[in-house]
Amino acid sequence: MIAGLVRFAVRKSLRDTRHVEVVPRRRARGLVAAVYRQVERDFGMLAPPVALHSAAPETMAAAWVLLRETLLAPGVAGRAAKEAVATGVSAANSCPYCVDVHGMTLAAIPDGPGGAVRDELEAWARASATAAAPAPPFPPAQAPELIGVAVAFQYYNRMVNVFLRDSPFPAHVPEAAKPRARRVLGGVLRPSVGPGPRAGDSLKLLPEAPLPEDLHWAAGNPVVADALARAYAAAEAAGARSVPAAVRTLLLDWLSTWDGQPPGLSRSWLEEAVAGLTEADRPAGRLALAVALASYQVDEDLVDAFRATATGDGTLIELTAWAGMAAARRVSSWLAGAADRA
């Protein structure tokens, strides 16, 4: 009964999603309904970080495929190791929501690597957010899954920072009740005993896509490689629809020399960065750059300015998702380079 109440509370927190309206489960149709069914079956509940994408169905499918096939599907790396990576990446990206959810899930997993190994994985994940990424503390066979989890959370942290509150629980849940709620939710999200979700089941949600060169590190796990290739292709298609070409060029130029360090405490850097854009493209440029390089700096002003130039929740989701995925891919190049040198 308590677990059911916690599930209900987290589902109710979907109403706290910022900037966009989430498609209610009872009104979901087509691809949105198909993703919702898989999320509830495999994750134990309709996870807000996935559902926030519902205004853009293909982008939501890409986000789910990315998460499911790296974090949830069983493989050579255990779930506890994956949750340690997810927690470390989320801490590095200042994403309290994801730290809360995946920290409580990790605490609820009784087996898996010991404390010292988990600490090592989490420390690697924290350091992986910069170009000085250290050599991975795991064997090469686990690289597609664990680097894949790191890439997934480099993406999700950015989207969650923009669209969700700092806590997975609704604002009305009192602080005194949260410790017990965290323990219960960790138990809900903890993988059940048994074989777990079958790897590859989500791939049918997206069309096939060729493996890009920057995914060579995933080739040792065909399912993870296929999942990321499809997700990357969907993100690129979203960018082509919803992000001005000049903004895409600008962000990719910035990312090509970015070393993972934050651009600054204020947002003054954004004005200099978008100075070469037309007046019409500057709101999209500011928002895309902020999502990719400093998602914690995104606020109502940046979103509202973009909204004045592009209507519709779907366009907002597609722009932010493209920017978040572009940054995650940049981080993956550092992680792959460190793994190749190990």
As a whole number of angstroms, the distance between CA 233 and CA 334 comes to 21
Q: Bin 124: left if φ > 0, else alpha if -120 < ψ < 50, else beta.
A: alpha
pLDDT at 285: 98
Instruction: Kindly state the average pLDDT of the residues 272-295.
Output: 97
pLDDT at 12 over 80: no
At 39, is the secondary structure helix, strand, or coil?
helix
Pair of tokens at residue 162: 């923009």
As a whole number of angstroms, the distance between CA 13 and CA 185 comes to 14
pLDDT at 229: 98
Write the secondary structure of 130-149 as one string of H (helix), E (strand) and C (coil).
CCCCCCCCCCHHHHHHHHHH
Q: Are 91 and 126 in contact (CB under 8 A)?
A: yes
pLDDT at 264: 77
As a whole number of angstroms, the distance between CA 94 and CA 295 comes to 9
DSSP type of residue 71: I
Q: Are 227 and 72 in contact (CB under 8 A)?
A: no
pLDDT at 4: 47
266 confidence band (pLDDT: 50, 70, 90): confident
Q: Bin 44: left if φ > 0, else alpha if -120 < ψ < 50, else beta.
A: left
As a whole number of angstroms, the distance between CA 74 and CA 199 comes to 7
As a whole number of angstroms, the distance between CA 15 and CA 73 comes to 28
Q: Are 137 and 114 in contact (CB under 8 A)?
A: no
pLDDT at 5 over 50: no
pLDDT at 6: 45
C-alpha of 328 from chain center: 9
pLDDT at 116: 73
Q: Are 229 and 211 in contact (CB under 8 A)?
A: yes
Instruction: Kindly state the average pLDDT of the residues 44-57.
Output: 94
Instruction: Kindly state the average pLDDT of the residues 205-228.
Output: 97
pLDDT at 126 over 50: yes
pLDDT at 123 over 60: yes
pLDDT at 328: 97
Instruction: Kindly state the average pLDDT of the residues 30-54.
Output: 94
Q: What is the average pLDDT score of the chain? A: 88
39 confidence band (pLDDT: 50, 70, 90): very high
pLDDT at 115: 67
pLDDT at 320 over 60: yes
pLDDT at 131: 86
As a whole number of angstroms, the distance between CA 283 and CA 226 comes to 34
As a whole number of angstroms, the distance between CA 206 and CA 208 comes to 7
Instruction: Kindly state the average pLDDT of the residues 228-237.
Output: 98
Q: What is the pLDDT of residues 144-191, one digit of tens each?
A: 999 999 999 999 999 999 999 877 665 655 566 555 555 555 555 656
339 confidence band (pLDDT: 50, 70, 90): confident
Tell me which residue of 261, 235, 258 sits closest to 248, measured CA to CA: 235
Cβ atoms within 10 A of the Cβ of 41, count?
10
Q: What is the pLDDT of residues 233-261, one digit of tens each?
A: 999 999 999 999 999 999 999 999 999 98
As a whole number of angstroms, the distance between CA 133 and CA 88 comes to 13
Q: Could you tell me where the beta strands, DSSP code E, fall in 9-166?
A: none
